[in-house]
A and B are shown apart, each in its own frame.
Chain A
Amino acid sequence: MTLHDPEIALKATEQPDATPLVVIDRVSRAYRKGKVAVPVLERHAMTIAAGEMLALVGASGCGKTTLLNLIGGADRPDAGEITVGETRITSLSDGALTDWRGRNVGFIFQFYNLLPALSARANVELPLLIHDLRAAERRARVDNALNLVGLEDRADHRPEEMSGGQQQRVAIARALVTDADLLLCDEPTGDLDQDSATRIMELLSLLNEEFGKTIVVVTHDPNVAAYAARTVRLTRPEAV
């Protein structure tokens, strides 16, 4: 693991020629404000390669979170198609999309979004409850994920008993436990101090380099973007 130089990383912004994992084909998404539809994404197109680590940057309100939710199947576009791997997720029924999300995508949020009633272990186990796994198998996977993020000794702590950095590592373990190929991180270090942020980014780099996870990181922080091999800058439609 190396500390990436931000200067070098920012230069590597051209399209990679590896096999694409995510293909976004002229996707539009607008929000209604009263009677007016405010466009956020308009015929947006991009490709994310399998195994790539990508930084998504842009001004506040330009649609980064919106795009991430669309890629992960947490939201649906008004027009356009999104294909992830073999699956055209924009054609899936609601139930099928939910199942697909549970198997193929790991989400990591700025404010961790752990369930406050549950211990770290139970939070990590949560996505496995919908998979058809025996208790021993679930336990093994949870231990594995907690080991990977270095929190095996915090397994029984509840979120309020942990620091922000630790909570974010629990969230990463929760995203890893289903062995999803695609990790979508929305400002994963936005609420963390410098040291914790570094630790999180090194963890994500490791997952990308050693485990081949495809990772999209939304960030405002150039130091964070520097960990990515490629940076995409998003702009609002009216500014184009």
Chain B
Amino acid sequence: MRLVSLILRNAARSRARVAFTLGSVVVAFLLLGLMLPVLRVFDSRVDFADANRLMVLNKASMMRPLPISYGDRIAELDNVSDVGHFTYFGASYRDPGNEIPAIVTDPAKFPDLVDEVAFRDEGTLSDWQSDPSSIAVGRELADEYGWQEGDLVPLYSSIYTRSDGNPVWTFRVGTIFDGATEDSVTNSVVIPYGFFNTERSRGKDTVGWYAVRIDDANAAEVTGEAIDAVFENSPNETATTTERAFAKSFLNQIGDFKTMIGAALILVFWTLVLITANAQMQSIRERFGDFAVMRILGFRKRRIAGMILSESLLMMFAGGVIGMAVAAVAVAIVAANGEALLALLKLDWRDWAIGAGLMAGTGLVVAAVPATLAARQKITDGLAEAL
């Protein structure tokens, strides 16, 4: 018989209470295991924006275009290393409700300007760049619709009709690109500007916004002000921000949401600590007589305290590992069947590390008071209690 077996035998005597306590630990860590991956996905979405990139928008409204001529003038400014432009296409495929992200830009600059994508096939890349009516398609999207290089894809635009009034644009799939990292989202279509600009019936020679790559990220603000100064008092004044600032403001609501989830998690944990501490306290109080007997038989105070601590840690780790394992399975199922952000969900080693830390921490906190009381009690008092 070892110490662990002593603990288990005691647990076996109050099955209902042990099951209840264990259950509350399982639920708490299940919640933790479900929430941690969600919180991390939010983080990865804020990080995607690049501090080295400025966005130049129309000051009057984000939705209003800017003249194409601005690009060359921005490129002349200090600290500017590259200028690209983007226009939102407003695409849907097959059914007007089935929107897909599509953007119009200069194919020559796109691979260098956007770090999140990777063109693994040089041949099809130059094919796309040289054929003005071809598009580049992200891997996820291509897989979803079974598109391959050379396929003809009709895209409906909710914003731009062609010169003949037709809102359906048919493009050839020129190349398929991948994400630069595992987390990158590749569900978009990239359309060459030249062909699009000639063909569209309105808005010619304008772009949606400029993306400006700068050499020195620390001078981002100064460069932004310089850009806006160039176009001051023109019919189309500009508003320049870093992409990161833009993304942050855009995701602020999500930030609040994150805070709420965090607060809920803390509350659940606090409740868990109270429930287990109470159950543990009760179960130990009932055994004060036992502990006094063990003390009289030669068990040192530290051994008794260690036993109570082990019992508490065993409870936390048993319940915690079960809870997080269930969460891992649930998260994997959601990720396998989900799209976009949901597909990124994963309970990885960082979550397990946080979980293990909390199991150990909570186990210690819960056991601290009962262990101290049990070790401190006078043997003679404990024996009197046993009667």
Q: CB-CB < 8 A to B300: which residues of A?
A: 95, 98-99, 130
Chain B proximity of A143: nearest CB distance (Å) = 14
A98–B295 touching, CB < 8 Å: yes
B296–A130 touching, CB < 8 Å: no
A111–B387 touching, CB < 8 Å: yes
Q: CB-CB < 8 A to A122: which residues of B?
A: 1, 6, 9
Q: CB-CB < 8 A to B13: which residues of A?
A: 116-117
The one of A69, A114, A130 in contact with B299, judged by C-beta atoms closer than 8 angstroms, is A130
Q: CB-CB < 8 A to A111: which residues of B?
A: 386-387
The one of A69, A103, A118 in contact with B9, judged by C-beta atoms closer than 8 angstroms, is A118
Q: Does A102 contact B (CB under 8 A)?
A: yes
Residue on B with the closest CB to A98? B300
Chain B proximity of A112: nearest CB distance (Å) = 10
Given A117-B9, A117-B13, A118-B9, is A126 in contact with B380 using a C-beta cutoff of 8 Å?
Answer: no
B293–A130 touching, CB < 8 Å: no
Residue on B with the closest CB to A127? B297
B379–A74 touching, CB < 8 Å: yes
Q: CB-CB < 8 A to B12: which residues of A?
A: 117
Given A118-B6, A125-B1, A129-B1, is A102 in contact with B297 using a C-beta cutoff of 8 Å?
Answer: yes
Q: CB-CB < 8 A to A44: which residues of B?
A: none
A77 to B297, CA, bound (A): 20
Given A74-B379, A98-B298, A107-B296, is A117 in contact with B1 using a C-beta cutoff of 8 Å?
Answer: no
Q: Does B3 contact A (CB under 8 A)?
A: yes
Chain B proximity of A65: nearest CB distance (Å) = 8
Given A118-B6, A118-B9, is A74 in contact with B380 using a C-beta cutoff of 8 Å?
Answer: yes
A178 to B12, CA, bound (A): 28
A118 to B1, CA, bound (A): 10
Q: CB-CB < 8 A to A113: which residues of B?
A: 289, 293, 383, 386
A75–B379 touching, CB < 8 Å: yes
Instruction: Tell me which residues from 290 to 306 in chain B have a Cβ below 8 Å from any Cβ of chain A.
Output: 290, 293-301, 303
A98–B383 touching, CB < 8 Å: no
A127–B298 touching, CB < 8 Å: yes
Chain A proximity of B347: nearest CB distance (Å) = 37
A2 to B294, CA, bound (A): 35
The one of B6, B294, B296, B386 in contact with A72, judged by C-beta atoms closer than 8 angstroms, is B296
A57 to B1, CA, bound (A): 38
Instruction: Tell me which residues from 91 to 136 in chain A have a Cβ below 8 Å from any Cβ of chain B.
Output: 94-95, 98-99, 101-103, 107, 109, 111, 113-118, 122, 125-127, 129-130
A103–B383 touching, CB < 8 Å: no
Q: Does B10 contact A (CB under 8 A)?
A: yes
Interface centre among A72, A74, A115 (most CB of B within 10 A): A115
Given A111-B386, A125-B1, A130-B303, is A74 in contact with B290 using a C-beta cutoff of 8 Å?
Answer: no
Q: CB-CB < 8 A to A109: which residues of B?
A: 383
B299–A98 touching, CB < 8 Å: yes
B380–A75 touching, CB < 8 Å: yes
Q: CB-CB < 8 A to A118: which residues of B?
A: 1, 6, 9
Residue on A with the closest CB to B384? A65
Chain A proximity of B299: nearest CB distance (Å) = 6
A51 to B300, CA, bound (A): 28
Chain A proximity of B363: nearest CB distance (Å) = 21
The one of A94, A103, A125 in contact with B298, judged by C-beta atoms closer than 8 angstroms, is A103
Give how many A residues have a beta carbon under 8 Å from the other chain's beta carbons. Answer: 28
Given A111-B387, A113-B386, A129-B1, is A99 in contact with B298 using a C-beta cutoff of 8 Å?
Answer: yes
A21 to B1, CA, bound (A): 33
Given A74-B379, A75-B380, is A101 in contact with B298 using a C-beta cutoff of 8 Å?
Answer: yes
A118 to B303, CA, bound (A): 18
Residue on A with the closest CB to B299? A130
A102 to B298, CA, bound (A): 4
Chain B proximity of A95: nearest CB distance (Å) = 6
Residue on A with the closest CB to B290? A115
A74–B9 touching, CB < 8 Å: no
Interface centre among A98, A101, A103, A114 (most CB of B within 10 A): A98
Q: CB-CB < 8 A to B303: which residues of A?
A: 130
Interface centre among A72, A113, A178 (most CB of B within 10 A): A113
Q: CB-CB < 8 A to A98: which residues of B?
A: 295, 298-301
Q: CB-CB < 8 A to B380: which residues of A?
A: 69, 74-75
Residue on B with the closest CB to A184? B296
A234 to B222, CA, bound (A): 97
Chain A proximity of B252: nearest CB distance (Å) = 56
Residue on B with the closest CB to A99? B298
B301–A130 touching, CB < 8 Å: no
A174 to B12, CA, bound (A): 23
Given A75-B380, A95-B300, A116-B13, is A126 in contact with B294 using a C-beta cutoff of 8 Å?
Answer: yes
Residue on A with the closest CB to B8? A117
A143 to B2, CA, bound (A): 17
Instruction: Tell me which residues from 182 to 209 in chain A have a Cβ below 8 Å from any Cβ of chain B.
Output: none
A→B interface (CB under 8 Å): 69, 72, 74-75, 94-95, 98-99, 101-103, 107, 109, 111, 113-118, 122, 125-127, 129-130, 174, 178
**Can you report 26 residue pairs joining A to B where beta carbons are below 8 Å apart?**
A74-B295, A74-B379, A75-B378, A75-B380, A95-B301, A98-B301, A101-B296, A101-B297, A101-B298, A103-B298, A107-B297, A109-B383, A111-B386, A113-B289, A113-B386, A115-B294, A117-B6, A117-B9, A117-B12, A117-B13, A117-B290, A126-B294, A129-B6, A129-B299, A130-B303, A174-B297
Top 6 A-B pairs, shortest CB-CB distance: A102-B298, A127-B297, A117-B9, A117-B13, A74-B379, A117-B10
